[in-house]
Amino acid sequence: MLENEFSTWLRQSYICDSGSAMAEAAITSRIANCKRVECFEGDLDQHASKDGMAELLARLNYSMDDQRQGVPKRHSVPIDGNVRTGSATLKSAVKLYWQFCEACSSGSSRFLSRAIHPPAPGAGATPKALSHVWPTWLQPTEAEALLLAKIVMPYVRFLNPEIVAAIVEDNELYRKEWSNELKARGINPEAYLWERSACAFPGVRRYAGSYEIALYRGHAKNDNTKIEQALRLDDNDCPKHIWSFTFRGKPFQKHGPQGYALAHLADHKSHDNRFKLDFDVVDGRSQSELFGLYSCPTNVVFIPTSMIKPTDFGVQLRNLLLRRAEYLYGAHCSVLPEWLRVRPAPSDAWALEEFTWADPVGNTMGIKGFLDYRGKLLNGLFGALLVDT
C-alpha cells in the first residue's frame, strides 16, 4: 500500500472531495488497520488492481445474522474480541483505502504530485469564493462510537438503586399533596410527578434562555413573581444534593467528586428537546414537559471530566446509558413518563452485557437527611408562593 500517500490523502482529503482533514489519531488507526489486513490478506494495491477490492471487502463483511448463526468469519485476520465489530472496523479502513485508490485513478497526477510535494502556503490555484455554508466533515463510524463507549462506560457512576427506591417511596407518599400544590399554582404536576417518578425536587427546574439566566442571577426583575411551570429555577445544584447527602451527609456546596462532573442522560428542557431522537412516543398517551428529569437521580450520572460528555452529543451512547438506568432502576420506579419508551439497542454489539460497568455507588445512610432537606425546601417554596399570591 502507498502508506505515505494514503496518510497525506487522509490529512488533506479536501483536495479531492472537499472534506476536512482527519484527526492524526484516526489517521494512525486507519493505516494500522490497513497494514494489519495486508499482513493476512495480501497487498491492498494488488486487491485494488485485481477487482477493485470487491472480493476482499466481501470477505471482511460480517453481519448480525452471521453473528447470530455463529457463521465463521470469511477473512484471515485474527480478531481479539467481537468478530462483527472488529471486522467492521477493518472493512471501514479498507474502504477508505479504496476511496484513496479511486481518487488517485481519477486524478492521480494532480493528487499524487501534491501529496508527495505539498504546495507552499499561498501557492497554487486561486482560492474559491466563500460558499456561505458549513462544510460537511467526516463522522465517527459505528465501530468508533462503539470503541468510545467501551472506553467510557467503566468510569460512569450511577447511584445505588436503593437510594432511588427511597425517593420514589417518599414521592408516592406525598404525590397527591404536592401535585395539588403544583396544580394550584398553574404548574402541570405530570411534568414532575408522573406515577412512581423519582424526581428529587418536584417543581424545581434548570433555568433556560437569557431572560431566565438573568432572572436567576438577579439581573432581571420578575414582575409577575411567577416562573413558567416551576416553583424555582436552579443552577444545576439540586440534582447534586442527593449525591452530596449520600457521600457527605450534607447539601451540595459547589464542589463535587474530584475529576468528575455531573451529566444528564435525557434532555429535560422545553426548548430544543431531543426526546424525539432518544425515545419512542407511545400513541394515545397524554404528553407533558420533562422538567422532572432535571432532578431525577435516574437521569444523572457522574463522568470523568477528562472525557468529553457523550451524553451531550452521541445518540447511541445516550441510549446505552438510558438502557443501563432502566436496567438498574426499572424495578423501583418509572424512569420516564408513561408516554415515552427507551428505544432498544440498535444492534447486538450495543447490548448492555457487551460492556464493563462500574458497580452503583453509595448507600442509604444519608437518605433521611436528604428527604428532610428537600421536604423543608419544598414546603418553604409552597408556603412562600402562597403568601406572595
Whether residue 383 has pLDDT greater than 80: yes
Region 313-337 average pLDDT: 92
Residue that the C-alpha cell 452485557 belongs to: 353
User: Residue 123: exposed, middle, or buried by beta-carbon count in 10 A (0-12, 13-18, 19+)?
Assistant: exposed
Per DSSP, the three-state class of 2 is coil
Question: Per mean pLDDT, which range of 41-50, 121-130, 308-317 is the poorest?
Answer: 121-130
- Enter the pTM of the model: 0.65
The dihedral formed by the CA atoms of 293, 299, 305 and 308, expressed in degrees to the nearest 10: -90
**pLDDT interval class at 1 (50, 70, 90):** confident
The per-residue pLDDT for 306 is 85
The pLDDT value recorded for residue 218 is: 75
Strands (E), 236-283: 260-264, 279-281
Q: Is 29 exposed, middle or buried (0-12, 13-18, 19+ CB in 10 A)?
A: middle
| Confidence at 297, pLDDT banded by 50, 70, 90 | very high
Give me the pLDDT at residue 322, please: 95
**Mean pLDDT confidence for 145-170:** 94
C-alpha cell recorded at residue 126: 486561486
Q: Rounded mean pLDDT of 159-183? A: 97
Q: What pLDDT is attached to residue 73? A: 92
What's the pLDDT score for residue 15?
A: 41
Residue whose C-alpha is closest to residue 83's, from 95, 69, 59, 67: 67
Q: Distance (Å, rounded) from C-alpha 138 to C-alpha 161?
A: 39
pLDDT at 75 over 90: yes
**Which tops the pLDDT comparison, 303 or 110?**
303
pLDDT at 385 over 70: no
Bigger pLDDT: 218 or 230?
230
Q: Residue 381 — very low, low, confident or very high, per pLDDT cuts 50/70/90?
A: very high
Q: Which amino acid is at 304?
A: P
